[in-house]
Amino acid sequence: MATGVSATKWNCERNPIARTSAGADVSVTLSYAGKKSVDEILCGLKAEVFKVWGAADDAVKMENRLYWGDNLSILRGMLNDERIHGKVKLVYIDPPYATNSVFQSREQKDAYADLLQGSHFVEFLRERLLVIRELLAPDGSIYVHLDDNMAFEIKMIMDEVFGKEHFQNWITRKKCSTKNTTRKRFGNIADYILFYTKSDEYIWNRPFDPWNEERIAEEYPYVDEKTGRRYKRVPVHAPGTRNGATGGPWRGMMPPKGKHWQYTPATLDELDANGEIYWSKNGNPRRKVFFDSGKGVPQQDIWLNYRDSINQNMVITGYPTEKNLAMLENIVAASSNPGDLVLDAFCGSGTTMQAAYNLDRRWIGIDREEEAICAVLKRFNIGSEKMGDFVTDKAGKSYKPHELLDERNFVQSLFGTCPFQFLVAEDKFDQAKADFKVKIPESAKRSVLSDIAKKAVDPAIKAASLAMLAKAGGVI
C-alpha cells in the first residue's frame, strides 16, 4: 500500500503537475429537478401528535417514544421540542432503497412500499436529513444504511448536508451468506452504512473485535526464540525526509531514500538492546511488535459478522428488512453514551430502539406504516420469536393491533423495564381509533386540524384541513 507525501516534495523532474489553486471552490453538489431550498424544507408543515397509550406524563418515563405518522412532519415538530432539538446524540436510519418494490412481513402482511425513484427518492431523503441535522447535538453522529442502488447519490447529498469534512466512514457490511447467483456478475452480498458527524468533536467509543487463534497467527506470524511470544515485523522507517537525528545514520546506515527513522538512533539502540529489533540476513532492521491481547482488534470499515439471517434460532419479529441486533448495539455503543438520546426515523421493527434499551440509552422511533408499529409494539410488549418458528408455522399467536396494547398479553414484556409512550400524528388518528381501539377526543382532532389550517402555507393543504375541520364540527 503506497503512502503519499506532501506535494512540496515533488521534484519537478517532468512537466509541472496539475493542481487546484488555493482558495478555489471545490464543492460538488447534486443538481436535479424539484430540489427545494433549505428554508422551504425546515419551515414546512409540522405534525401535531397525540399520546394514545403508554407511560405516564412525567419527565423520565415519557423520554422513550414511538411515533406513528409521516416522519418528515413529525421530525419538523421536534424542532419545537427543547428536549429533542439539538439533544439527539445518535441517529441510525435504514430508509427505503429505491428498489421499486413492495415488502411484506413473514405473515404475508403488507409492510411498506418502496416505489420512489431517482430524484424523487433523493429529495425525499434529503428533506429528512436536513431536519435531522438540526435535531442532532453538536457532538452527535448519523449512520445511514443503504445498498448500491442509491448510496452514491446519497453520499453526495450527505456531503452537502453535513459537510464533506464530517464524513467518517463508508462501512461495507456482509448482509447475507454467499449467493449462488446465475447472473453474469459477482454475487451481491454487501450493503453500506454512511457514517457522518455533525462536527469535528463527536462521541466516539472505539469498538474492538475479539482476537481468535487463527487471527493471532495471521497477524503475528513469528515466535520469539527467547520469550516464546508471538510478534510481527514492521519497518523502522517512515515516509518523508527529516533534517534532524531521525534523518541521519544509525549503525552506519541511512534510512531508505525519501524516508526517515521512526525513532532517534538512541531509541533504536534501546529497542535493539531489549530484543525488539529483528535483523534480516541482509542486515536490514525491522521492529518486533509483540502480541498483546488488550481490548482486541480495533474495528475496521468492513463488517463480516453482522449478517441479518444467520440461523433458524435467531430471534426476530418477522418484519421484512429487519437488521441484526448486534450490529445496532455496536453502532449505539460506539457513538453514544448511557443516558443519551437515540433516534430512528425509519424504525421498522424497532431493532435500533431495543439496542438503545439494552445499552441504557433513551430512544425515539418513528414509522408511518401500521405493520412497523405493530412489530415494535410486539417486540417491546409481547416479545419476539425464533426465525425457524415462522418457517415451521410454530410462531406464536397472531395478534390484532389493539391486542398489542393489552397488558394481559404482556408475558415477555419489556414495557415494565422500558416504559414508553405511543403517539399518533393527525394523519393516523382515524386509523388508530379503528385498529388500535384507542380514544382520541374529537376536541383533539379539531385542535390539530385548526392548527394545521392556521399554519398551512400551501393553499391545497389549507383548503383540505379547513374542509376536514368543518366536517369535524370545528372552526378556526
CA distance 382 to 230: 50
CA distance 388 to 121: 35
Q: Which domains does the chain have, with CATH numbers?
A: 47-207+299-438 (3.40.50.150), 219-290 (no CATH)
pLDDT, position 279: 94
pLDDT, position 98: 80
Residue 336 C-alpha cell reads as 453514544
| Residue partners of 285: CB distance under 8 A and separation at least 6 | 236, 251, 268, 272, 277, 278, 279
pLDDT tens sequence for the chain (476 residues): 667 767 777 777 666 677 888 888 888 889 999 999 999 999 998 988 999 998 776 655 568 999 999 999 999 999 999 999 999 999 999 998 888 887 877 777 877 787 888 999 999 999 999 999 999 999 999 999 999 999 999 999 999 999 999 999 999 999 988 777 788 888 889 999 999 999 999 999 999 988 889 989 999 999 998 899 999 999 999 998 888 999 999 999 999 998 999 999 999 999 999 999 999 999 999 999 999 888 888 999 999 999 986 655 566 777 888 999 999 999 999 999 999 999 999 999 999 999 999 999 999 999 999 999 999 999 998 877 654 443 334 445 788 999 999 888 887 667 677 889 999 998 899 999 999 999 887 766 656 556 666 666 566 666 666 666 566 555 45
CA distance 376 to 362: 15
Spatial contact of 319 and 371, defined as CB atoms under 8 Å apart: yes
The b-or-e profile of 332-348 (16+ CB within 10 A means b, else e) is bbbbbeeebbbbbbbbb
**Residue 148, burial from CB neighbour count under 10 angstroms (0-12, 13-18, 19+):** exposed
CA distance 243 to 255: 12
Q: Which of 308, 259, 268 is nearest to 288 (CA)?
A: 268
The b-or-e profile of 11-36 (16+ CB within 10 A means b, else e) is eeeeeeeeeeeeeeeeeeebeeeeee
Spatial contact of 345 and 372, defined as CB atoms under 8 Å apart: no
Number of helical H runs and strand E runs in the chain: 13, 22
pLDDT, position 390: 35
Q: pTM for this structure?
A: 0.83
CA distance 78 to 341: 13
- Could you please report the per-residue DSSP string of 393-426? T-------GGGGG-GGG-SS-STTTS--EEEEEG
